Structure 1
Amino acid sequence: MSNPSNTYPTVTIDVVLDRQTAKEVLRGVLHSILFHRLFGTVVPQTFEVLDVTMPGISDADMERLIDEKVNAFWKGIESGTNRRGQIVLTFSEKRPKKSWFQIYEEEVPWEQWVVNAELRQLKTERDPQAFNATLSNSLTHALRVILTHTSSLRGRTAVPPITKVDGISPFPLKMAVRMGGVEIG
């Protein structure tokens, strides 16, 4: 769960995707993480993905960001030979930093989420129900990881003091898509 080179927690979520539900699954997982990590005024919503109810946020900017990254992930899967990739979500705080002649703010990460996603294809006509059950279990496990981390002592103490709330998040966040270790989109 943690990354030894960093002092902040890194939470890894592994999901298995199929062509029909890949975008839906990724949107649901990203929305669920943001639902538990945005500390501004959040308008909640829910998503039904493979019979799993997932929490989400109703915010045009966040939804646009999620759609942009999910679409970049999908284009990477479609255009390359990779059947797996990552969407990395990093939360940071702004801290003052002094240099010789000025004081400026730097972004210092306090938590990172890595969603490892793998596209699998059905092998037979009979597989869909068993495969959907596997996907559903993968989603349920992802939600359990999110809830366990955010409610744990380590997950709660990772959050820096909130000094002001401008909009939906008091902290800068970055979302990156990686295929084969290379950032895309």
Structure 2
Amino acid sequence: MSTTTPVINLDLVLDRNTAKDVLRAVLHSVLFHRLFGIVKPKTFEVLDVTMPAVDDRETEMLVDQKVDAFWKAIEGGVSKRGSIDVTFSEKRAKKSWFLVGEEEVPWEQWVINAEIRQPTTDRERQKFNADLAATLTKGLRTMLTHTSSETGRAAVPLITVAQGISPFPYKITVKVNGMEVP
């Protein structure tokens, strides 16, 4: 396994009408490609792009909670930019002089950078939606390419526990203006 944590960036320019749907679809797609437990698949249709998703109540609630937190922070703040980070970790034994326990060590991070813009005319909206659909398709290609590449496969630690939807802990973090949003 590599000693550096791979970071995969996905850059999105969103509008108010589709922002939540796009963010949900992208988060679900990342999780679909990186959860190694028993995953029941489903799909999202966003701007005529079919994206894979995880059909799991807890996962859906977590994704919805983080997308809503991102949206509230963007709506309530001055900045119309932020990120949603998905960090996958493994539990390793932590040994020190007096303590024995576990620590979570990241093995991969996905950073979804999002900026909200609003097209003003119908022509701008059509171009905006076409560009966003192309960006989503490119993002899916990035996910597939990375997860099936030698680097993407080498980043995944050995799976020693096969229970639940993911054998590894993962965390979704929302940041706006460089500060973490609860």
TM range, smaller chain: over 0.9
Select the residue among 83, 88, 98 that pairs with 2:85: 88
- Structure-1 residue corresponding to 2:62: 65
- 1:35-72 Cα shifts (integer Å, max 9, x gaps): 00000000000010000000001000110000000000
TM-score w.r.t. the length of structure 2 is: 0.96
Quote the offset at 1:16 in angstroms: 1.2
- Structure-1 residue corresponding to 2:36: 39
- Structure-2 residue corresponding to 1:120: 117
Select the residue among 48, 52, 55 that pairs with 1:55: 52
- Structure-2 residue corresponding to 1:180: 177
Alignment of 1:142-157 (within 5 A): 142-157=139-154
Over the aligned positions, Cα root-mean-square deviation in angstroms equals 1.0
TM-score w.r.t. the length of structure 1 is: 0.95
Select the residue among 110, 113, 131 that pairs with 2:128: 131
- Structure-2 residue corresponding to 1:76: 73
**Structure 2 portions without partners, runs of 5+:** none
Q: 4+ residue stretches of structure 1 with deviation over 4 A?
A: none
Determine if contact 1:15/1:142 at 8 Å carries over to the other structure: no
Determine if contact 1:94/1:107 at 8 Å carries over to the other structure: yes
- Structure-1 residue corresponding to 2:6: 9
Quote the offset at 1:166 in angstroms: 2.1
**Structure 1 portions without partners, runs of 5+:** 1-5
- Structure-1 residue corresponding to 2:95: 98
Give distance in 2, aligned partners of 1:123 and 1:21.
15
Quote the offset at 1:80 in angstroms: 0.4
- Structure-2 residue corresponding to 1:3: none
Quote the offset at 1:101 in angstroms: 2.5
